[in-house]
Amino acid sequence: MRTLLAILALGAALSGCGAQTSTAGPTHACTPPPGGRCAGDVAWHGPIELSADGHRLHGTVPCGGTLHATENGGTVAIRLHLGAVPRGGMSCALVDVGVRIPESLGHRTVIDEVSGDTVRVVRR
């Protein structure tokens, strides 16, 4: 048991992440290491590109990530999940991330799931 606790503590220290408790229940907070980032969902910043066939939303993100989409009536909600980057690792390339949606976007609105903001769509 002590070994498991030591491994967990070491992992939290190396990643710069830890757990905090509030009156609302447990939450996870992370302090990014210098030149790195914590894993988590973040708001999409700027416009997002739409493929010519209307089925793929995409854009570039430093060090990559995973883009998710949920279709709901007249909207498509996107959520960008970024992986952790270790100390000094943010000198990485811009990576194209995208998600394919089953139905063509058409005239539906794209909403950022994290911020709740409308995302401007650039049609290519």
**Continuous H helices in the chain:** 2-15
Express each pLDDT in 56-80 by its tens digit: 999 999 888 999 999 988 999 999 9
Q: Domain ranges in the chain?
A: 1-31, 35-123
The residue with greater pLDDT, 5 or 95, is 95
Q: Looking at residue 124, what is its pLDDT? A: 78
User: What is the rounded distance in angstroms from the CA atom of residue 116 to the CA atom of residue 67?
Assistant: 16
Q: Distance between CA atoms of 9 and 15, rounded to whole angstroms?
A: 10
Cα angle, residue 13 at apex, residues 7 and 15 outer, rounded to 5°: 100
Confidence of residue 14 (pLDDT cuts 50, 70, 90): very low
Q: In the prediction, which pLDDT does 117 show?
A: 97
pTM above 0.75, yes or no: no
- One-letter amino acid for residue 62 of the chain: P
Strands (DSSP E) found in 63-115: 66-72, 75-82, 94-100, 109-112
**pLDDT exceeds 60 at position 25:** no
In whole angstroms, give the CA distance from residue 40 to residue 31: 12
Proportion of the chain above pLDDT 90, given as a percent: 56
Confidence band, pLDDT 50/70/90 cuts, at residue 87: confident
d(CA 87, CA 108): 40
